[in-house]
Amino acid sequence: MKKAIITVVGKDAVGIIARVCTYLSAQHVNILDISQTITGGYFNMMMVIDLTESLVSFSALQEGLSAEGAEIGVIVHCQLEDIFTKMHRI
C-alpha cells in the first residue's frame, strides 16, 4: 500500500473537510485516517490516504489538492508518508 499524508492549515470555514474528501473520492483515493483540531480559529487537519487505486498520478493529485485548497483559502500539502515514518519511527 502506498500511503501519503495530507495536511490542511488555514482559517476555519464551513465545508473544508467535505471539499477535500469530495476531491479525493473523485480520484478514487481512500482515506485511512483523519484527525483535526481548531486552535484560535485556525483549522488544522491531517489525513492519511491510500494511493493504490488513485486515478491520477501523485503529482497531479498534489496539484489538484492545492488548487482545491486555494479556492477555499486554506493551504493543502500532500507528501508521501515515508518522510514522516522514517524521521519518527526506528
Partner 1 sequence: MINTYEVLETNRMIAEENLDVRTITMGISLLDCADSDPDALCGKIYRKVTEKAARLVSVGEAIAHEYGIPIVNKRISVTPIALVGAAACKTPEDFVRVAETLDRAAKQVGVNFLGGFSAIVSKGMTPADERLIRAIPEALARTEYVCSSVNVGSTRTGIDMDAVRLMGETVKETALLTADRDSIGCAKLVVFCNAPDDNPFMAGAFHGVTEGDTVIHVGVSGPGVVKAALTQAHGLGFEDLCETVKKTAFKITRVGQLVAKEASERLGVPFGIIDLSLAPTPAIGDSVADILKEMGLEQPGAPGTTAALALLNDQVKKGGIMASSSVGGLSGAFIPVSEDRGMIEAAECGALTLEKLEAMTCVCSVGLDMIAIPGDTEASSIAGIIADEMAIGMINQKTTAVRVIPAAGKKVGDRVSFGGLLGYAPVMAVNRFSCGEFIARKGRIPAPVHSFKN
**Contact positions vs partner 1 (CB under 8 A):** 5, 7, 32-33, 35, 37, 44, 46, 48, 58-59, 62, 77, 79-89
Q: How big, in percent rounded to 5, are the helix, strand and coil portions of the chain?
A: 35, 40, 25
Shortest Å, Cβ 86 to partner 1: 5
Q: In what order do the strands lie in the sheet with 42-50?
A: 30-39, 42-50, 3-11, 74-80
Three-state DSSP class for residue 71? helix
> Position of cell 484560535?
40
**Helix ranges (DSSP H) in the chain:** 16-26, 58-71, 82-88
Shortest Å, Cβ 68 to partner 1: 17
Shortest Å, Cβ 85 to partner 1: 6
Between residues 22 and 33, which has the closer beta carbon with respect to partner 1?
Answer: 33
Between residues 22 and 79, which has the closer beta carbon with respect to partner 1?
Answer: 79
Between residues 41 and 86, which has the closer beta carbon with respect to partner 1?
Answer: 86
